[in-house]
Every structure is written in structure tokens, then in C-alpha cells.
Amino acid sequence: MSPLHLTRLVTRVAVVCASLALAAVGLTAATAAAAGTATPNVTGVTGTSITIGATVPLTGIASPGYNEVAKAAAAVFNWVNNHGKVNGRKILYDLVDDCYGTPGFGCKGNPDVHADTVTLVTKDHVFATVGSLGTPTQAPERAYLKSVDTPQLMVNSGSIDWNCVGGSGTPSSDCNGTTYPGLTGWQPSYTTESKILAKYIKANYAGKKVCFLGQSDDFGHNGYLGLTYGGIHPVVTRFYSVDALVVSGAASITPYIESFQSAGCSVVYLDTIPGATAAALGNAEALSYKPQWVISSVGSDPTTVATELGSTPDSEPGAISFAYLATTNGFTDPWISWTYKVLEAAPGLFPGFKSTSVLNGNEAYGVAWGVAFVEALRAAGRNFTQASFLHILTTMKFETPAITPLQYSATNHQGLIAGFVDKIKSKTATEPAPGKDGNKTVWVTKSTSASPVTSTTVLSLTVPSWLK
């Protein structure tokens, strides 16, 4: 091709491209001008509804226990929608399946949690995410949700990553050096839990050797920290990886339990998820090793652990754990009968649930924070924005199934910071732990080493009349 032809061709192409670009500018300028007259709105809120969302494991490995949490909250929202709504609005709860914890193809949802969150924000236009589950899934979303002005409320996890409000209560390393004013947790942190359990261990198992098995992430490490803050120093400390547990099963934990046994530990603290709890219990059975188990609330729900154990003998009864809801036998809880009503009224979410069904920890947990959200929404009134909602959340008094006060404040976005020591009674029931510092004493402590562990009065629980 001659240079002349070439030059002409290139010029032609350049003109085409430039005109495309100009057209683009022109078009977008036009649409921009037209759209400029839209009225500002609170995202996710209309005259008759408010849309919230969450990413949870609806299918996949983690789902059997964990999906009941979100479903229980959804049942609460259903109940409220059918019994008077909240300030004239229905709550629309969009659950997106994020396949939490499932490797490979075994689940229906999109394991790209970020894509799921972007979907919630840009397609469902949620007012806030409420009750999204998991530390590794939610911690990386903090920056994104802050950048799009969407609150991230009541994250289902005990990590201290959700308390990023500056001040002495905030470990800055977990907050990337920034504050996230729209972010809150709900349950007591792993550190709060282990500090309180450390107190119980000191009071009742003084002089005995303690061994520690924790998950190899924030969950295990924060729990370990709390034990040391409480003055317990395990003689053997091992961390298990969830990856290895899924791949190799109970055998991946066998050497750890063997090392506990040869070190002569008569108390073993488990900061484990139910699958790992079952693996530890099963391994100890095989080794004829019978220590006193102290298990984190995350992994101690007796029904869930019994399911994980399958046909292996269940050695969990007798274990000590931590609780903050009143579903433990021995507390009077008017919320229990209400919870049964709510779950029975949602057969789509809980098919076959009736008054004789066992209420497990996951369901109680979901109901408890679902109620908290509904109360905050009601208190916020008919006209609110994200900012005013957060203000209400951090200043109001709640009446929830938690046995300790839910105390959000300007300096505490963790949520609950208290609980009591309970004991696994059977495959389906728990009771308050006996002994010193047990017996229904409720303890309060923040997640730092300096904060003391002090006792507080048990709340007397009532179901608000407008919820009944």
C-alpha cells in the first residue's frame, strides 16, 4: 500500500474514533443534564417499604447451621410486616448467597462476595446491609460500603473489626487506621467471651493445665488474646486451618489433641466452629482422653455439634460455654414463646417448625438481632436518613432477647459486651454453669486488656407490646 493510501486510511480511522468519542461526550452530557433534575431520596426507602440486604451462605458447606440465622431474622421481618408494619413500611430483606466457606462448585450462589455486595448496592439499592455473615467476607467490604455511603449493620461475627470508631476502645490495626461510622457488629466479641471464660476457669479449675485450640484467623487469635488478658496461659497452643479441616477432615486435628493429652492438660479451650468442635471431641474419644472442655459460643450449640458428630458418641454434655441470650434453661424468657410463634408463622423459611421442635442457637441468634433492627427502625420514625438512623441506633434503649443490654454508643459499635457462663446439659439443652462465677452471674467487659470484668444485673426481659 502506498504511503498516501496509508495516510488516508489512518486519518479515516482517527476521524471515526474521534467522532465516536465526541458522540459519547455529547450523549452523556445530554443524559447528565436531563437527570440533573431528579429529587434526592434516601436509598432503599420508599413510602411503603425499606429494602435491606445481606450476603449469607444460603447453600454450601457452611449453610446448614448459618443459613438459619438469616432466615430467622427474615421470619421476624415477615412477622412485623404482617402485624402492623414499621411506621407504615414493610421491610424487604434481600438475601444473596455468597457460598461462604465452600470450595469448588458445591453451591448455587456467587462466591465472589464483593460482586454480591455490589449487586446489593447497585441493583437492589439497599438502605443498609444488615446481618451479613463472616469475618473474612465482611472485613474487606468495609472500605467499599463506606465509599458508597451504605451502612454495614450488625455483622454476624465476633471479630473486633466492626468497632472502628476511634477512641480507646478501638484497636487501630484491625481498622486499617480509619474509622467506619456506618459499621456495627452485634454479638459479644471473641475477646469479651474468652476474658469472661478465663475468669471462670481461674475460679473453678485453678492449678490445672490448660491447652488451647483455635482457628487460624481473627477468631482464634482474638480468643487467645482474651484468655491471656484474663490471666490464663495455655501450656500448649495450636491453631487449625479451616482449609485443612475441609480437605482432610478430623485427621487434620488429631496431632493437636494428641499433644494436649501428652502435655497432661485437664482443661481444653476450644475456639472452634462446630465442625472443628466435633473433630476435637471425636479425636479425644478415640484417644480415651477426657478433659474439661471449654468451648466458644460460636462452636458450642449442642444441636449443631451433635449433627456434625453424626454417629460418633457425643461427649459435649458437661462442656462449659458462653451465652448471651436467655434461651438457656434456667432463665425465664418471655421471648421464647414469641420466637416459636414467629418461626411457626413462616413455613416457607422453617417448614415443619412447630411447638415441639427444638429451638437451636442459630435461630435464637437471628431472632435477637432481627428484633434489634426492627426496634431501631421504629424508633427512627417516619422520616430518616442513614445518618439519623445511625444516631438513633447509638442512643436508644433496646428490649431484645439478649440477657444483657445492647449498648451501641458513639464509642461502642461492637454491640453486646456481656454474657454469662453456661453448661451443655444434653444434645438439645444448656443450663447456667454451676460453681463460682457461674450461677447466672452476668459479666461485662470490653475487648481491651485494660477493661475489667465486672458483674452486672440480669435484665428482666419483656416483649414490647407492639411486637406481640
| 3-32: contacts with another protein (CB under 8 A) | 5-6, 9-10, 13, 16-17, 20-21, 23-24, 27-28, 32
Q: How far apart are CA 141 and CA 355, in angstroms?
A: 39
> Residue 350 gets which letter from DSSP?
S
Nearer to another protein, 272 or 400 (CB): 272
CA dihedral 340, 154, 103, 364 (to 10 degrees): -20
**Contacting another protein (CB under 8 A), which of 55, 66, 133, 142?**
142
Handedness of CA 33, 35, 39, 43 (dihedral sign): negative
CA distance to 175, 204, 234, 321, 432, per residue, from 436 (Å): 37, 6, 21, 15, 12
Among 4, 147, 355, 462, binds another protein (CB under 8 A): 147
> Which of 79, 127, 180, 240 is close enough to bind another protein by CB under 8 A?
240
Q: In degrees rounded to 5, what are phi and psi of residue 329?
A: -55, 140
Among 83, 243, 354, 466, binds another protein (CB under 8 A): 243
| Residue position matching grid coordinates 461485662 | 444
**DSSP H/E element including 442:** strand 442-444
Q: For the chain, report the end-to-end CA distance as a whole number of angstroms.
A: 85
Question: Which residues in 207-226 contact another protein (CB under 8 A)?
Answer: 216-218
Pick the binder of another protein from 81, 87, 228, 241 (CB under 8 A): 241
Q: Which of 110, 179, 428, 451 binds another protein (CB under 8 A)?
A: 110
Cell numbers describing residue 413 = 459499635
Quick count: other Cβ atoms within 10 Å of Cβ 42?
Answer: 15
**In the complex with another protein, which residue's Cβ is closer, 13 or 410?**
13
Q: Which is nearer to another protein, 207 or 310 (CB)?
A: 310
The span from the CA of 420 to the CA of 441, in Å, is 6
Nearer to another protein, 64 or 334 (CB): 64
Q: In angstroms, rounded to a whole number, what is the distance separating the alpha carbons of residues 164 and 172?
A: 8
* In the complex, least distance from residue 47 CB atom to another protein, rounded to whole angstroms: 18
Among 26, 84, 88, 103, binds another protein (CB under 8 A): 103
Q: What is the CA radius of gyration of the chain?
A: 25
> Residues 291-320: x/- map of binding to another protein (CB under 8 A)?
-----------------xxxxx--------
Find the binding residues for another protein in span 153-212 (CB under 8 A): 176
Stretch that binds another protein, among 73-81, 238-246, 415-423, 435-443 (CB under 8 A): 238-246
How many chain residues interact with another protein (CB under 8 A)? Answer: 95
Torsion of CA 177, 182, 183, 188, to 10 degrees: 120
When binding is defined by CB under 8 A, the residue of 3, 36, 207, 352 that contacts another protein is 36
Q: Per CB under 8 A, does 235 bind another protein?
A: no
CA distance 149 to 235: 46
For another protein, which stretch binds (CB under 8 A), given 243-251, 391-399, 414-422, 457-465? 243-251
Smallest separation (angstroms) from another protein to the CB of 7: 12
CB atoms within 10 A of CB 331: 18
CB of 386 to another protein, least distance (A): 12
Parallel, antiparallel or unpaired: strands 292-295 and 418-424: unpaired
Of 88 and 264, CB closest to another protein:
264
- Cα-based angle 403, 404, 405 (whole degrees, multiple of 5): 130
Interaction of residue 279 with another protein, rule CB under 8 A: yes
Nearest to another protein of 197, 349 (CB atom): 349
- Check binding of 352 to another protein (CB under 8 A): no
C-alpha cell, 260: 494436649
| Integer Cα distance of 329 and 327 in angstroms | 6
- Interface residues for another protein in 419-458 (CB under 8 A)? none
Cα 194 from Cα 221, distance rounded (Å): 11
Options 49, 87, 254, 448; binder of another protein; rule CB under 8 A: 254
Q: Cβ closer to another protein: 87 or 312? A: 312
Q: Which of residues 53-92 bind another protein (CB under 8 A)?
A: 58-61, 63-64, 67
Decide if 178 contacts 166 (C-beta within 8 A).
Answer: no
Rounded to a whole number of angstroms, the minimum distance from the CB of residue 130 to another protein is: 19
Of 49, 81, 85, 114, the residue at the interface with another protein (CB under 8 A) is 114
Q: Does 250 bind another protein (CB under 8 A)?
A: yes
Which range in 134-142, 321-329, 388-396, 450-458 contacts another protein by CB under 8 A?
134-142
The nearer residue to another protein, 281 or 406, going by C-beta atoms, is 281
Is the Cα torsion angle 26, 31, 37, 40 positive or negative in sign? negative
The three-class DSSP label of residue 117 is helix
Residue 385 interacts with another protein (CB under 8 A)? no
Q: Which H or E run includes 13?
A: helix 3-35
